[in-house]
Amino acid sequence: MLILLRILIRFGPGESGPKPIICRLCFSEFMPQVAPSILAADFSRLGDEVAKVTSAGADYIHIDVMDGFFVPNITIGPSMVKSLRPYSDLPFISHLMITHPERHAKAFAEAGSDIIEVHIEAEQDLEDTLRLVRGLGKKVGLAVNPPTPVQQVYPYLDRIDLLLIMSVNPGFGGQQFIPEVLPKIAAAKSEMDRIGSRVPVEIDGGINTETGDLAARAGADILAAGTSVFKAPDMRKVIDALRACGSSKD
């Protein structure tokens, strides 16, 4: 049954391509899912890295997009997403850490992104951006940085498919996990229950088996992990360990 539910979450009945259906009722009932972040991969062989982590049992591919304005670093654009698409049939989460994401959402959608995450802190008309992504036929996620009160996302919880809690300040990989963000997960889920609109919560930043366990116990449904997965000698072993995070919680 668990395997069937994971397939339904990933593709949906009768579909073979990377068109994820986020089954809100299935999350938090089982183990967290794992979304390896390619920011920590070897960029000289990025396609092979994506294929390898797919074979190792990942649930999503998490793609960090940075523009040098919203965050100080610059990473990749839609052409790279398009180039990576043939290497995996997993859903691609494009995490847009950029100013005015509405100007680029269509390009990332056409490149093969399945879920497009935007930041509540980014300069944009957020209502319009959320509608735009949905109109492109994609799932939409809303991200919140560590200093931002989680209450700021509450008005949008019934208009998104995924909530991303940042556990580092965005811009660079390999940062230390900020445990003070963990109460945001329970607070957001409590508000979701109040309004009757539960969506899964992803956490991103400094995730390894130790911090992943803390996050899973706090209620995280998806663990975005970069360095701990891509720098591991055995990716499958780490992914399995991350998926087991929180399994002993009361």
Question: Which stretches of 10-161 are assigned E, i.e. beta strand?
Answer: 33-36, 61-66, 92-97, 115-119, 139-144
Q: Is 158 a catalytic residue?
A: no
- Does 6 have pLDDT greater than 50? no
Report pLDDT digits (tens) over 218-250: 999 999 999 999 999 999 999 999 999 998 554
CA distance 238 to 121: 32
Q: Give the pLDDT band of residue 192 (cuts 50, 70, 90).
A: very high
In terms of Cβ atoms closer than 10 Å to its own Cβ (0-12, 13-18, 19+), residue 249 is exposed
CA distance 13 to 20: 10
- pLDDT (0 to 100) of residue 12: 40
| SS3 label, residue 106 | helix
φ, ψ for residue 51, nearest 5 deg: -65, -40
**One of 67, 114, 161, 204 is an active-site residue; which one?**
204
- pLDDT (0 to 100) of residue 17: 42
Domain 32-243 has CATH 3.20.20.70: yes
Alpha carbon distances (Å) from 199 to 16, 57, 139, 166: 24, 23, 11, 16
- pLDDT (0 to 100) of residue 16: 39
Q: Give the pLDDT band of residue 29 (cuts 50, 70, 90).
A: low
Cα–Cα nearest to 131, from 108, 110, 159, 152: 159
- Does 102 have pLDDT greater than 60? yes
Average pLDDT of the chain? 89
| SS3 label, residue 141 | strand
CA distance 11 to 7: 6
Average of pLDDT values for 17-21?
A: 42
Q: Where are the domains of the chain?
A: 32-243
Reading the block at residue 209, the tokens are 């088996």
Reading the block at residue 131, the tokens are 């509608």
CA distance 14 to 97: 33
Report pLDDT digits (tens) over 124-171: 999 999 999 999 999 999 999 999 999 999 999 999 999 999 999 987
**One of 59, 64, 161, 213 is an active-site residue; which one?**
64
Q: Give the pLDDT band of residue 5 (cuts 50, 70, 90).
A: very low
- pLDDT (0 to 100) of residue 27: 52
Report pLDDT digits (tens) over 42-85: 999 999 999 999 999 999 999 999 998 899 888 999 999 999 99
Find out whether 164 and 141 touch, Cβ atoms under 8 Å: yes
Q: Where are the alpha helices (DSSP H) in the chain?
A: 2-10, 46-55, 78-84, 105-111, 126-135, 183-195, 209-218, 227-230, 235-243
Reading the block at residue 79, the tokens are 């052409």
- pLDDT (0 to 100) of residue 190: 98
- Does 123 have pLDDT greater than 70? yes
244-247 — which CB contacts under 8 Å span 24+ positions?
244/31, 245/31, 245/32, 245/209, 245/212, 245/213, 245/215, 245/216, 245/217, 246/31, 246/32, 246/212, 246/213, 246/215, 246/216, 246/217, 247/31, 247/216
- Does 212 have pLDDT greater than 90? yes
Of 93 and 28, the structure prediction assigns the larger pLDDT to 93
Q: Is 204 a catalytic residue?
A: yes
- pLDDT (0 to 100) of residue 68: 87
Of 246 and 91, the structure prediction assigns the larger pLDDT to 91
